[in-house]
Chains A and B, each alone.
Chain A
């Protein structure tokens, strides 16, 4: 299986503070990779480096075949991103948002039209094409934001707490979208605070104080820590943390 993200001895320092402390891991194509950790554990910092927004202090990270240190611009073309803050334009219509972001990622005009129809059909949003995004319910917005993030068929999509503030039923349907994307071969790199969601991932890593303290399938992790669920695994590891959440 092709490796899409490869991280080796990655370190990020801010002054004297080591936010990310020598981590290494690999993510395969089409994998759903859960990236867990308490607030302040360094998740966001890692994600920003992998997206090409910030440079590592030392170590190496390859995303979609390019080095984050040298080829950030190439990486940006090949990834999708969705943040915990809802990230579409509320005062633009559904189709305008799709068109704008597809255009940014260089999708051809003719493709945009055809794919927009397909996307709206799959989501059951055909009647909302002309709706302003601000008029959609939060769950719908987030599904739309995810669909927009993978519209240009990126190699990896980074999801930064994508389901924050959404009810469990909607979260469930959101994860169905993630599964579909993974089936198409899009690697999904997900951070989340919901431990039930961690169970849905193919593999999970747990960051504590800038280090990755555990990395395996949810099933194996539960065996190793003889825990009933991922929440117990997480609690077990997180209580070792010395760093204060910010």
Chain B
């Protein structure tokens, strides 16, 4: 036991004395949170819009004001006089969308019950364009309803409500994903690299010739990264909850259990990589290519799994991050009871058992 403790102490020293390792484990989670929480987001805020108003009546001005006051749009010009001007400012990239009100806008609406607004958007970036148009039209609809609370009979207006994330905030999606990535990075990559480093430097050989039990070597290697990952998860939760305002709707106990399960899966993966790789570079490459990329692209954190071709959907099943992200979304954002994530938990536990069994078998006490 004393042997084990002094060995764990040694592993912590390795980490604390290496500037790069410290940078990765401390700065990286925070940088990633900011990157994925704020910069890489599908939300669009503060878009400039232009107005070409042929009518210039109270209603059209009202709509423009309504848009101005929303957090999604900014109005910074005085309106165009003709279509050429509008198109010019579009080409210059001054505005994201342009509203065109037809002549006699208000009168048409009151007399015929029908008036036209044209919304111009840049189709070369379809995702942004679609989002902007949706935002603008829903703002306009809300405004019209406010103005005219008794709609004509038989008119059906669908009311859309996004459950669990009513404002469709991107950070709700990115937090589970970032946890999934960071833990994979710290646990799998750092563990693999630190074990192969000992192989490369020749210290592993000395350890294997010594009377220390190989299982102690493994436990000592994994412990610091386990502790650091737990601390990182706590930091991520604090940032996401108190700074980004992501709710933690579910049971904290089960969220913790789920995170610990995922940490252990990642550690086991790192261990497995270290038994395959003989040099640090190879360990880095394997964990980068084989672990990180799928964790980002196939886990569903960025792209919906349902939209992938069947072969990628199939592959995504063996990616631990996929099950973790799915479960943490359910329990953290939706706040479901634990019985709804039993499936994911069982899969993660099975992965742990399989990975540990393979690694221990491969972590040959006898070097060859």
- B206 within 8 Å of A (CB atoms): yes
- When distances are taken between beta carbons in the complex, the residues of chain A under 8 Å from B206 are 81-83, 87, 101
| Contact between chains at B366 and A87 (CB < 8 Å) | no
Given contacts A85-B202, A92-B10, contact A79 B366 (CB under 8 A): no
Interface residues in A70-101 by Cβ distance below 8 A to B read 73, 76-77, 79, 81-92, 96, 99-101
Among B78-86, B143-151, B207-215, the stretch that binds chain A is B207-215
- A54 within 8 Å of B (CB atoms): yes
- B161 within 8 Å of A (CB atoms): no
- When distances are taken between beta carbons in the complex, the residues of chain A under 8 Å from B3 are 103-104, 106
| Contact between chains at A52 and B6 (CB < 8 Å) | no
- When distances are taken between beta carbons in the complex, the residues of chain B under 8 Å from A91 are 13-14, 17-18
Interface residues in B195-250 by Cβ distance below 8 A to A read 201-203, 205-212
- A215 within 8 Å of B (CB atoms): no
| Contact between chains at A55 and B210 (CB < 8 Å) | no
Given contacts A55-B366, A85-B205, contact A96 B13 (CB under 8 A): yes
- A66 within 8 Å of B (CB atoms): no
- A236 within 8 Å of B (CB atoms): no
- B163 within 8 Å of A (CB atoms): no
Given contacts A79-B209, A96-B13, A106-B211, contact A53 B367 (CB under 8 A): yes
- Using C-beta atoms within 8 Å of the partner chain, give the interface range for chain A: 20 to 34
- B125 within 8 Å of A (CB atoms): no
| Contact between chains at A53 and B13 (CB < 8 Å) | no
| Contact between chains at B13 and A92 (CB < 8 Å) | yes
| Contact between chains at A105 and B211 (CB < 8 Å) | yes
- A51 within 8 Å of B (CB atoms): yes
- When distances are taken between beta carbons in the complex, the residues of chain B under 8 Å from A54 are 366-368
User: How far does the Cβ of A8 sit from chain B's closest Cβ, in whole Å?
Assistant: 21
Q: How many A-B residue pairs have CB under 8 A?
A: 71
| Contact between chains at B205 and A52 (CB < 8 Å) | no
Pick from B2, B10, B211, B366: contact of A73, CB below 8 A.
Answer: B211
State the CA gap A218–B13 with chains docked (Å): 46
User: How far does the Cβ of B286 sit from chain A's closest Cβ, in whole Å?
Assistant: 23
| Contact between chains at A103 and B2 (CB < 8 Å) | yes
User: How far does the Cβ of B3 sit from chain A's closest Cβ, in whole Å?
Assistant: 6
State the CA gap A97–B31 with chains docked (Å): 35
- When distances are taken between beta carbons in the complex, the residues of chain A under 8 Å from B14 are 89, 91
State the CA gap A158–B208 with chains docked (Å): 14
- A180 within 8 Å of B (CB atoms): no
Residue of B nearest to A81 (CB): B209
- When distances are taken between beta carbons in the complex, the residues of chain A under 8 Å from B7 are 100, 104
| Contact between chains at B203 and A87 (CB < 8 Å) | yes
Given contacts A73-B211, A92-B10, A103-B3, contact A83 B202 (CB under 8 A): yes
| Contact between chains at B203 and A88 (CB < 8 Å) | yes
| Contact between chains at B211 and A100 (CB < 8 Å) | no
Residue of A nearest to B200 (CB): A85
- When distances are taken between beta carbons in the complex, the residues of chain A under 8 Å from B201 are 85-87, 90
- A113 within 8 Å of B (CB atoms): no
State the CA gap A79–B208 with chains docked (Å): 12
User: How far does the Cβ of B17 sit from chain A's closest Cβ, in whole Å?
Assistant: 5
Residue of B nearest to A149 (CB): B206
User: How far does the Cβ of A70 sit from chain B's closest Cβ, in whole Å?
Assistant: 15
User: How far does the Cβ of A170 sit from chain B's closest Cβ, in whole Å?
Assistant: 19
State the CA gap A89–B2 with chains docked (Å): 19
Question: Chain A: residues with CB nearer than 8 A to chain B?
Answer: 48, 51-55, 73, 76-77, 79, 81-92, 96, 99-101, 103-106, 158
17 new A-B contacts at CB < 8 Å, known A103-B3, A106-B211 = A48-B368, A53-B208, A54-B366, A54-B368, A76-B211, A77-B211, A81-B210, A83-B205, A83-B206, A85-B205, A86-B202, A87-B203, A89-B14, A96-B10, A99-B6, A100-B7, A104-B7
Q: List 24 A-B contacts (CB under 8 A).
A: A48-B367, A51-B209, A52-B209, A53-B366, A53-B367, A55-B366, A77-B211, A81-B206, A84-B202, A85-B205, A86-B201, A86-B202, A87-B202, A87-B206, A88-B203, A91-B13, A91-B14, A92-B10, A96-B10, A99-B6, A101-B210, A103-B2, A104-B210, A106-B3
What are the 6 tightest A-B residue pairs by CB atom distance, in nearest-first order?
Answer: A85-B202, A81-B209, A76-B211, A87-B206, A77-B211, A91-B17
